[in-house]
Every structure is written in structure tokens, then in C-alpha cells.
A and B are shown apart, each in its own frame.
Chain A
């Protein structure tokens, strides 16, 4: 059987689950910032995959899954923001508190970066994940987040400075 990623035939739910569960969960984990919320996103994504499989047109399974993951993530964020104060999405002045120099390398920096990402606010984290992990273009991120391209650029800049600050403080 050919991979659903390259097949023009609509994959079955089982095929998607077998092949993409890891991708879905890890992107959900990066987006949500903690395992509990990630699990909620993950479960809901597969409910929607099942529900909307008939609408999938074979034009990029990961793109389709990413949009579902992001939509579920946004729903979760809206719910959380109704219950908690609104996130400050980066108007604050960011100062780099740590000492410049070697951060870390390889796996170690990956682990530290994951912790730093989790500490970002959800909106900024989403932009950073879509760029850093999913390697989307500014335009693709702007389309997904429904914000101007210029905002993507400034948001990524703030996210990077925040991340660097947290990494250098923690290292």
C-alpha cells in the first residue's frame, strides 16, 4: 500500500491514524505546551479527521492535518482565554537577561528549547512552531493565523527574543 502522503486515493481513518498519530501528537504537544492539553487536542483532531475525512481532497495530508490541529488548538485557546486573563501577545519590551555565549548544542538545546517554547504564550508559541517546526512561509503562517504578514514577522521576532532570553537564563 502506498503512503497516504503521496497517494491520490483518500486514505482511510486507520491509515491516517497508523501513519500520522506521532506527527499529530507532537505538533499538538508543541502547540499546546503541555501533555494534558496536547492530549485533548490530539483526541479532538482524530474525531475531526473521522468526521471530515470525506472532505479531504488528497492535496497534502499534512497540510490538511495541520489545519485541523491548528483549528482545534485555537478552539482550546479561546476556551482558556474565556476562563483566564487575555494573553499579552508581545507588546512588552523584551530584554535579554542572560549572558551571551554558548547556549547548548544538539539534543540538549532541543530539550531546552522545548521547555522555553512551552513557556511562551500560546499565540506567540503558535507562530514560532509554525515557522520553526513546520517550516511554513510567512504567508502560510499569516493565512493560518489570519493576521497580516507583517504581524507574523514582528511576532516571530519577539518570540525569538523571548526564547533566547529564557534559554540563556536557564542554561
Chain B
């Protein structure tokens, strides 16, 4: 009798997948076939090798991935299905992210929020007001950079009946207040729709393009600009904010 059908049974035996009838059939064959008995031993010996496969250290993530903003626990609690669509498809348009209204304010260890107020970025949330502005500047800042954190933002935008395509946020840092931009960050583009209602643009819209290093503030400033935004776009103060990866001291 051919041994071929029993080879599959020997394999299934290693996996504990033999029925009672199959086990009996195999035992009977093994009692008569020295070659299959030897094969049974050789397969078992080989199987032990799976516990000894060599392990290799993982490589570093490539810069494209390593530089992307890191999601936080609060991010992961909300629906972010289209998070990286623009990264993967290099497309500017992605589904609108929604923000859980109950999202707690970031803890101190996650940075400090600066709210968008008329022409300024300020620590205290202003009253909720639609602003037809695209530039916001902070006053002098003193604080230490929190390593391992990145800038996060939440902008509530509405362009009413006129959709605005590919607007994006640029943030510039002047760490020492000398008027020179020491670092700039440009974020993935965001499209507003042609319906009334606030849409939320966050850092998760796409990868950021950064230049310069983050470092401590010593009397420096931050500027935020909504680029390529048409005049119809409004930003909602009181809810819109940048969370800077800093612990401020003044």
C-alpha cells in the first residue's frame, strides 16, 4: 500500500488533528512500515526546531513613519478611520475626522494648550466665536520642551456653502524672540465641505513637514497660519487650540 496518505496523517498527528479512526489506521500502518516509523521520528525532530528559530533585532522605523505625529490615548478613543489616507495615497482629500466632545483637556505631561482668539494664541479659552481670521500669534513664551511629545491641534472650521480645498496649518516657532523662525511645521491638507457646520481639522490629517529642531522657549513666540484658506473659512474660537509639547514657566 502507498505510504503517501499516511504522510498527511503523520503531519496531522503532530498537530493533534487525527480522528480516532485515523489514529487507529495510522498505528496499524506504522506497525507494518519501517519507513513511515522513521519518518514519524524525523518529522518530530524537525518540529522541535520551531522552538529554536533564530530571532533578529527589529530595524528602526523609516523616517517617514518615525516623523509622523504620534496618536494619543484620546485619539485612539475616537473614530479616526481615515487617519493616514493622505499618507498612503498621497491624496489631499480624506474623510473628516470627528472629535469626541468629551475629550478631556490634555494633561500637563502632554503639553499646554494655546487657544485661538482674535489675532492671538492665548492660554485661556476665549468665548466661542466664529473668527474670519487665518493668522494667530502668541505673546512671549518661556518653557521647556517635552521630549517624545509633538504638537497637536484641533481646529473647528466652517466654510459654509463654499467648500475650501487643501487648506493646511503652518506653525512657526521663534524660540528666543529674535524675529527669526527657528522651526516650522506644515500639516496635511484638509478640505471643508459646502455644508453649514463645524468640521474638525487635527494633526492626524496627514504627515507634517518639519524643519528645524524643537527646543526650549526663552521669550519666544509661536505663530499659526491657515494657508490657502479662502475668505469664507471661519475658525471657532474657544474650541480651536494648539497643544504645544511644552511645560510653560511664563
Residues on A facing B (Cβ under 8 Å): 9-10, 12-14, 17, 21-22, 24-26, 29-30, 35, 39, 42-43, 46-47, 50-56, 96, 100-107, 109-114, 117, 131-133, 138, 153-154, 156-157, 160-161, 163-164, 167-168
Is B56 among interface residues, defined by CB-CB distance under 8 A? yes
Indicate with 1 or 0, residue by residue over B1-44, a CB within 8 angstroms of chain A CB atoms: 00000011011101101000000000000000000001100110
Residues on B facing A (Cβ under 8 Å): 7-8, 10-12, 14-15, 17, 38-39, 42-43, 45-59, 61-62, 65, 68, 70-73, 75-81, 83-84, 87-88, 148
Give A53's nearest chain B residue, CB to CB.
B76
Q: Please, which residues of chain B bring their CB within 8 A of the CB of A138? A: 15, 17
Closest CB of chain A to B66's CB: distance in Å? 9
Partner of B68, one of A50, A105, A114: A50
CB-defined A-B contacts under 8 Å, sample of 19: A22-B58, A25-B58, A26-B58, A35-B56, A43-B62, A43-B65, A46-B61, A47-B88, A50-B65, A50-B83, A52-B83, A53-B75, A110-B49, A110-B50, A113-B49, A156-B12, A157-B10, A157-B11, A157-B12
A54 touches B79 (CB 8 A): yes
Task: Kindly name the residue among B14, B76, B80, B88 whose own CB sees the greatest number of chain A CB atoms within 10 A.
Answer: B76
Q: Please, which residues of chain A bring their CB within 8 A of the CB of B7? A: 157, 161
* Apart from A51-B84, A103-B49, A109-B46: 9 A-B pairs, beta carbons within 8 A: A25-B57, A42-B59, A46-B65, A50-B68, A50-B71, A54-B76, A111-B52, A114-B54, A160-B46
A9 touches B70 (CB 8 A): no
Q: Cα distance A132–B58 when bound, in Å? A: 21
Q: Cα distance A133–B54 when bound, in Å? A: 12
A153 touches B11 (CB 8 A): yes
A103 touches B8 (CB 8 A): no
**Given the contacts A50-B84, A109-B49, A12 and B57 also touching, CB distance less than 8 Å:** no
Closest CB of chain A to B59's CB: distance in Å? 6
Q: Please, which residues of chain B bring their CB within 8 A of the CB of A100? A: 38-39, 42
Give A100's nearest chain B residue, CB to CB.
B38
**Given the contacts A10-B77, A43-B61, A43-B65, A106 and B84 also touching, CB distance less than 8 Å:** no
Partner of B59, one of A9, A39, A54: A39
B49 touches A112 (CB 8 A): yes
B80 touches A54 (CB 8 A): yes
A54 touches B8 (CB 8 A): no
Closest CB of chain B to A84's CB: distance in Å? 24
**Given the contacts A30-B53, A43-B62, A157-B11, A167 and B46 also touching, CB distance less than 8 Å:** yes
Q: Cα distance A35–B77 when bound, in Å? A: 35
A103 touches B50 (CB 8 A): no
Closest CB of chain A to B201's CB: distance in Å? 17
Q: Cα distance A110–B63 when bound, in Å? A: 33
B80 touches A25 (CB 8 A): no
